[in-house]
Amino acid sequence: MRRHKLRSWKAAAVLTLAVAGVSVWAATSLAASGARPVRVAIMTDCKGAFAFGYEYDIGGAQGAFAQFAGGKTKSHAKPSAGMTGIRAGNTPVQIVGYGCGNDTVPLAVTETKRLMEKLNADVEIGPLSGDEAVFTANYAKAHPTKTFIIGTAGSQDPTMQIHPRNMFRYYGDGAQWNAGIGEIAYKKLGWRKAAIIMDDYSFGWTSAAGMIADFCAVGGDIVKRVFPPLNTTDYAPFVRQLPNPNQVDGYFSTVGGTGTSAMLKAFEQAYGKLDPKQWIGNLFFGFLGADKVVAPKLVGAYVGGFGNMPGVHTPAADAYRSFMSKLYPKLPNDDSFVYNYYVGAKALVIGLQKSKGAVGVKLQAALPRALKSPFQISNGGIVKLDSRRQAIQDQYQLQLVKNADGSVSPTVVAYIPNVDQSFGGLFTPSSPPPGRAQPPCKKLATPWQGKIQVVTDGKVTNQVIK
């Protein structure tokens, strides 16, 4: 009987502990939902191919909060240490959490729900990666009172096909970044037939879509498309699917993150030394450490843009660089992983000032449709949003050059003002989103065709690419 009682007590103790535990968790969650300042979450990646973006993205967003809303960083070396004292006008702003994705959808689901539902954020700045943004767009549609400002994800779908009313993007998508690079390949390198190797996910497809659309628009032909999955480590089977170097004039690449270097290495092993005149990459040829690993092998190669303008100096761009380099000296501030989060956060501060701290639909109405952006030259430096709240942004095409100190970096060689998302009507809300076979290769008239301006020594000239 004694033992019987002992067991009962044990069971009761376990039950009590369980109930107490649940109550504590619940109380914590409930406490988090009381009256409060505007709650902002920054969603980025800290795992996977783009893990390096974690500090860059947080630093970019917090840079704008520091510059325009009085935020005080806790660490100049590590942005994720946090920021306090942010006030947009009279409204206090609290950064409630940093999302840690890995560029895949399942973790984006968990992290977005954690930020928006557990931490009860009113606004999300992010995410970083293409598929994550596609999920977030669908999530945004289901949560109209929450506001989403895309971080640096470049997939087209969120603001073209899905375009929820509460989602904003203050920079170009991955296709916009590559506007003009196909024409450069056709005119400057004489390419007529090319192959493309693209990461098999939303951003890889969108980035490739810009290259394909631009190259085919002027009469080029894409003879082969190869799709390695994101996070591939052995690219040999994929580069073997590409035509031999003597069968095409060149190769476009939108393989990114940790894959760029591995893919090029596999190509070298299969076909020999890389010829810079036979390769055009997207932003992953020139940024995010690629300048040290990939670029030295490809000096002279053209590179698609990133919505930024390395080597070009304007008062606004230099002021941005100066401020950011003092705030976070270790961040690559010319890099759009930093810059895109910066412009998103800047827009949020302006929106909150206008809405007087109101969130939800009022904030969405107050968010600026025209934003003064450091890397914009046309319109007096103002980026405008289209009807789907997607930026119409200046684009700068790049080339890898050797500097006096022997380092290699991308520099701007061409300029196209006000590139919109449609590529002359090729991409529309009812067209299929970029994919393995989308867009098809066809000749068309893009708004910038024959008008791409040459940039020399950081100065935009009146000459056009011929």
Partner 1 sequence: MSPSTWTRQQQVERTIAALALVVVIVWPTFGSAYWAHQILIETFLFGIAASSLIFLSAYGGMISLAQTALFGITGIILGNLATKGGPGGTSKGLHLGWDPTLALVFAIVATTIIGLIGGAVASRSTGIYFLMITLTYSVIATYTLGQVTKISGFSGIGGINRYTPGWIGDILAHPNRLYYIALGTAIVVYALIRFVVRTPFGISLQGVRDEPVRMSSLGYAVPLHRTLAFGLAAFIAALAGVLYAWWAGQVAPGDVDLPQTISLLIMAVIGGLVRIEGAWVGAFAFILMQNYITSNTHVPLLGFGGTLFGGSFNTIIGIIFLVIVVVSPDGLMGLWGRIFEPRRRSTEGPSIAAPAAEPTK
Residue 143 interacting with partner 1 (CB under 8 A): yes
Handedness of CA 171, 176, 180, 185 (dihedral sign): positive
Residue 139 interacting with partner 1 (CB under 8 A): yes
Per-residue string for binding with partner 1, 29-48, x by CB under 8 A? xx--x------------x--
Tell which one of 76, 89, 92, 141 touches partner 1 (CB under 8 A): 141
Question: Judged by CB under 8 A, which stretch of 14-22, 179-187, 321-329, 405-413 contacts partner 1?
Answer: 14-22
Question: Judged by CB under 8 A, which stretch of 140-148, 302-310, 330-338, 364-372 contacts partner 1?
Answer: 140-148
Please say which residue, 137 or 400, places its beta carbon nearer to partner 1: 137
CB 427 within 8 A of CB 400: no
CB 186 within 8 A of CB 218: yes
DSSP letter assigned to residue 162: I
Of 429, 307, 347, 358, nearest to 148 (Cα)? Answer: 347
Residue 71 interacting with partner 1 (CB under 8 A): no
Question: Judged by CB under 8 A, which stretch of 112-120, 256-264, 408-416, 457-465 contacts partner 1?
Answer: 112-120
Tell which one of 72, 436, 442, 459 touches partner 1 (CB under 8 A): 436
Rounding to the nearest 10 degrees, give the CA dihedral for residues 54, 57, 60, 63.
-50
DSSP secondary structure, 107-135, as one string: HHHHHHHIIIIIS--SEEE---SHHHHHH
- CA–CA separation, 82 vs 80, rounded Å? 5
Q: Which residues contact 362 (CB under 8 A, 6 or more apart)?
A: 355
Q: Which residues contact 9 (CB under 8 A, 6 or more apart)?
A: none
Phi, psi (rounded to 5 degrees) for 33: -105, 15
Question: Judged by CB under 8 A, which stretch of 253-261, 277-285, 369-377, 431-439 contacts partner 1?
Answer: 431-439
Residue 109 interacting with partner 1 (CB under 8 A): yes
Residues in binding contact with partner 1, number by CB under 8 A: 54
Taking the complex as a whole, how short is the minimal distance between the CB of residue 164 and partner 1, in angstroms? 8
> Which positions lie near partner 1, rule CB under 8 A?
3-4, 7-8, 10-11, 14-15, 22, 25-26, 29-30, 33, 46, 97-98, 100, 104-107, 109-110, 113-114, 117-118, 120, 130-131, 134-135, 137-139, 141-143, 157, 161-163, 200-202, 229-230, 429-430, 432-433, 435-436
